[in-house]
A = this chain, B = another copy of it.
């Protein structure tokens, strides 16, 4: 234990000393970048890296963008060099020729980023750098290519095997909790009292993934309610008027909010294993928990209805619309239009229930007309569901959902017949995608 407790202390100390004292020099960032990639010794390298990071921290957006352009243009791959190295390698496949190829094939900016990362606390700074890049880069091809290098390295560093799942509770450090408040993306946390209501009661749980090099920055977190039965409305979950449960009396764990925290880690997936691991841990701790289910928004429903010239209905009719949307509305690649559906179905979950009047908040009404959905994580079928979805885009759904979708198709056909000509292309599309 000591070990990693020490780790943290060390990391904090170093970062602090660094952040307070290190002074950026007055040399331009591109010069520092060139020097850092050229540096022979670790000593010199660390000094330059600290200057660069300090300089970057002080830089304005124009300077940052200029720095990114430099990385994108002056520190990219050299096709001629690669071809030469490749030719030499093919002539004589030796350790030396392979090493030469490896060096040539990689843009120097990757080595730059790795060397920057040697500075204690730099990982966080580099994630921030990519956040800037995504914000400033726009559609620029060269900057997007640069982003691929960041992402490539981050995917390696934030490898699932390096992440640590840990519970977030009312006993967690305040500087972590203020980030939970800030990063909650689904159902906003409005105050510290609100946060306490999500964390302190015995029938509430929260878990986050962390990376050891950013120990005070959650990467993604999930909020869980322990309940009796599957809830059908977010208000029933969030209200402080609800009866409190002893965890040992709960039979269901409801994942009612999942939030990514780091924009600079966009595209690097952590959520896949989060739910499964949390479910496994909860099942181990509370053997009475039998059902693991989400209570999820349907963020694209109203937008999609709009695209088909429809408005959200109420009650049963809304559920029919939602089932149709979840099962039939697809992207060109055959996956569902709805991003939340893609996430859970890709994870091997099954669509279990649909609820109208389930999220009456302004955001909930605007996105989905108030509808919400439960995705079920059933340990016995999650791998099979996942594989069918991955291979054939088959969507696992309960008979309830299938029935609602069938009603939607029936209604649509009836409407087609009566109207003869309404949105035929769309209908065809939908069938093709199904």
Contact = CB atoms under 8 A, between A and B. Distances in A.
Interface in A50-90: 77, 79, 82-83, 86, 89-90
24 contacts: A1-B2, A3-B164, A3-B176, A7-B212, A20-B202, A40-B390, A41-B387, A42-B160, A43-B272, A43-B348, A79-B86, A82-B82, A93-B145, A94-B141, A95-B145, A98-B145, A98-B148, A102-B148, A117-B160, A164-B212, A170-B175, A171-B175, A171-B216, A174-B192
A386 interface: yes
Interface in A213-251: 213, 215-216, 246
Interface in A105-141: 105-106, 114, 117-123, 141
Interface in A133-166: 141-142, 144-145, 147-149, 152-153, 155-157, 159-162, 164-166
A-side binding surface: helix, strand, loop or mixed? helix
Contacts of A160: 42, 46, 117-118
Interface string A285-317: 001000000000000000000000000000000
Given A2-B166, A164-B212, 6 more contacts: A1-B1, A4-B4, A43-B272, A98-B141, A99-B145, A162-B213
Contacts of A42: 160, 269, 272-273
A213 B161 CA distance: 8
A66 to B, nearest CB: 19
A26 interface: no
Copies in the complex: 4
Interface of A: 1-11, 16, 20, 40-44, 46-47, 77, 79, 82-83, 86, 89-90, 93-95, 98-99, 101-102, 105-106, 114, 117-123, 141-142, 144-145, 147-149, 152-153, 155-157, 159-162, 164-167, 170-178, 192, 196, 200, 202, 210, 212-213, 215-216, 246, 269, 272-273, 276, 287, 346-348, 382-383, 386-387, 390-391
